[in-house]
Amino acid sequence: MGKVQGEGDYQSAKKFDDDEAAFVRSGRVDQAAREAEPKSQAEADEMKKAEQAGKSRSRGEDASSRKPASSVDSKTRTRGK
């Protein structure tokens, strides 16, 4: 599997997808989400501020509205091979 310059590389994308799927299957998602919760109001405020800063630089698309990667057409993933 070769690299695609400028758009990422297929090996890294596949590894990420495989690792993400393994994590979901592991059953540790809820625990990880609980551990990621802010530990204080100050930390919650800092997280909210960082979120707002990120959104201020976006083009307006909300990433949570995108389709999951698993629903992407296989032709899209293999383009450029």
Confidence of residue 5 (pLDDT cuts 50, 70, 90): low
Place of tokens 């310059």: 5
Q: Confirm whether pTM is higher than 0.75.
A: no
Closest alpha carbon to 20 in 8, 6, 32, 38: 32
Q: Does residue 4 contact residue 80 with C-beta atoms inside 8 Å?
A: yes
Distance (Å, whole) CA 2 – CA 81? 7
pLDDT tens for each residue of 35-71: 999 999 999 999 999 999 999 988 776 666 666 655 4
